[in-house]
Amino acid sequence: MTSAQRQLQLALDQQETAQAQVNSAQVQVNMAVEDLQTAKETGDEEKVERAKKEVEKAEEKVEKAEAKVEKAEEKVEKAKKEVNEAEEKVKAQQEKAIRCTASVLSQFSRKMQK
């Protein structure tokens, strides 16, 4: 595995981890919203205020996690580009080697015919 491929795999892993964080944070938001609804139903203003703060905190976590996902996606795209560039360089080197080998074989064949 080339360096570019390792970087791509790392970026993909980071993206997956960041997406898991988003999912976890979203679950926390859902739980906080449920707590808020329960607090509103009971009419306990103190619990309502606490629940509102929990919802806000959970939503902030979602936003931060989504930002991490976005950064990870950018890293993935950059790594994919680097892998493609590396593959193109390898392909170009292989084609050059094939042309050189063909040239040498052609020269050798001409000398053998003489």
Q: How confident is the model at residue 77 (pLDDT cuts 50, 70, 90)?
A: very high
Inside any domain, residue 113: no
Q: Containing domain of residue 16, as a range?
A: 3-85
Inside any domain, residue 100: no
Inside any domain, residue 73: yes
Between 3-12, 13-22, 93-102, the lowest mean confidence (pLDDT) is in 3-12
Residue 1 pLDDT:
67
CB 32 within 8 A of CB 47: no
Q: What number is the average pLDDT over the span 11-40?
A: 91
What residue has token string 């103190």? 46
Inside any domain, residue 97: no
Q: How confident is the model at residue 22 (pLDDT cuts 50, 70, 90)?
A: very high
Domain tally, the chain: 1
Inside any domain, residue 111: no
Inside any domain, residue 36: yes
Q: Give tens-digit pLDDT for 41-67.
A: 988 888 889 988 999 999 999 999 999
Inside any domain, residue 75: yes
Task: Supply the pTM of this predicted model.
Answer: 0.69
Residue 47 pLDDT:
85
